[in-house]
Amino acid sequence: MNIIERKVWLITGVSKGLGRELAKQVADKGDIVVGTVRNAQDKADFEKILGAKAFIIDLSNTEQISSLVDAIINQYGQIDVLVNNAGYGAFGMIEEFSENEIIHQFKVNVIAVWKLCQAVLPHMREKGGGTIIQISSRVGILAGVGNGIYASSKFALEGMRESLKQEVEPFGIKVMLAELGALRTDFFGTSVKYAENKLPLYFDTAGDIRSNTKSLHGKQSGDPVKVAEAIIEAVDKDVPTFRLPLTTGTIDAMKTKIAEYQNLIDLYEHKARNVEFF
């Protein structure tokens, strides 16, 4: 494959999990991978194993993002595919969270994604196209007890993608959202963050969200290898969908949401159409 045919992929969060698997598969198929990690050890490890370059950034430092993208463009000349993969789940009851915990969740899962998009778009526009992939979740479709803050960060990505797709499509830039159910990664291992303020009164109603989620670690049914394959296939085959639902949990969440909306339409359509000026 000559250099012109090789796409340059910027994938955030390649130290482990889905990002690492995606980076491995992209490198194996001959494209160029540039990743982000948070420390020197992960950088050395990634570069040694994949023979690809990693940049160090903690994405909660959102002010560093535009210079990161500038450095990558200086070195590689282009970014063809941006995968906004890095992220974590902040779990706990809505009432338990502090403002700082919520701000951090949104900085990493939403603001950093927006800043990365903002930084790559001028370069993609200049070269006449590109693909942006946002890694969302089934909880970006249907939230549940104890995941409301994480879910609202993924709901934010869903809204951002819907607008961004329409705004940048005329420039040949595609925006895709991968909606994933539970994957067997480190998500519920060392990555998950729980609200520090624990309100035991919720144990009787919602159960213990901390031990319930921890007990899922290593037992999730979603395979990150197959998910990475499906994402790469969607980019390479230029699939006509801009939402990529993957895992059984995502399809089930979609079906529940459709039923919920249908029920609301049945109940409220008449009323809804009668609150307008005639």
Ligand X SMILES: NC(=O)c1ccc[n+]([C@@H]2O[C@H](COP(=O)([O-])OP(=O)(O)OC[C@H]3O[C@@H](n4cnc5c(N)ncnc54)[C@H](OP(=O)(O)O)[C@@H]3O)[C@@H](O)[C@H]2O)c1
Asked whether the CA dihedral 10, 14, 19, 22 is positive or negative, the reply is: positive
User: Torsions phi, psi of 66, nearest 5?
Assistant: -65, -35
Joined together, the tokens standing for residue 221 give 């049914």
| Tokens coding 196 | 């520090």
> Per DSSP, what are the bridge partners of residue 180?
137, 246
Whole-number Å distance between alpha carbons of 200 and 186: 26
**Contacts to ligand X by CB under 6 A:** 13, 15-19, 38, 58-60, 85-88, 108, 135, 137, 180, 182-183, 185-187, 191, 220
Tokens in use for 225?
């290898």
State which residue, 72 or 180, has the beta carbon closest to ligand X.
Answer: 180
Which amino acid, one-letter code, is at 154? K
150, 202, 261, 268: the active-site residue:
150
Closest distance between ligand X and the C-beta of residue 134, in Å? Answer: 9
Torsion of CA 252, 111, 88, 257, to 10 degrees: -10
Integer angstrom CA distances of residue 119 from 1, 30, 116, 124, 263: 28, 25, 5, 10, 41
Choose between 59 and 143: whose C-beta lies nearer to ligand X.
Answer: 59
Check: CB of residue 145 under 8 Å from CB of residue 186: no
Closest to ligand X by CB, 125 vs 223, is 223
> Closest approach of Cβ 68 to ligand X, in Å?
11
Dig out the tokens for 45 from the structure.
């490890």
Annotated active-site residue 202? The verdict is: no
Taking the least distance from each CB to ligand X, the nearer of 106 and 125 is: 106
Give min distance, CB of 47 to ligand X, in A. Answer: 15
Residue 225: CB minimum distance to ligand X, A? 12
d(CA 201, CA 186): 29
Strands 53-56, 193-194: parallel, antiparallel or unpaired by DSSP?
A: unpaired
Q: Least separation, in Å, of the C-beta of 236 and ligand X? A: 20
Say which DSSP state 255 is in: H
- Could you tell me how far CA 152 lies from the centroid of its own chain? 12
Residue with smaller CB distance to ligand X, 131 or 137: 137
* Residue whose CB is nearest to ligand X in the complex, by number: 17
Q: How far is the CB of 249 from ligand X (least distance, A)?
A: 8
Nearer to ligand X, 137 or 152 (CB): 137
Q: Which residues are catalytic?
A: 150
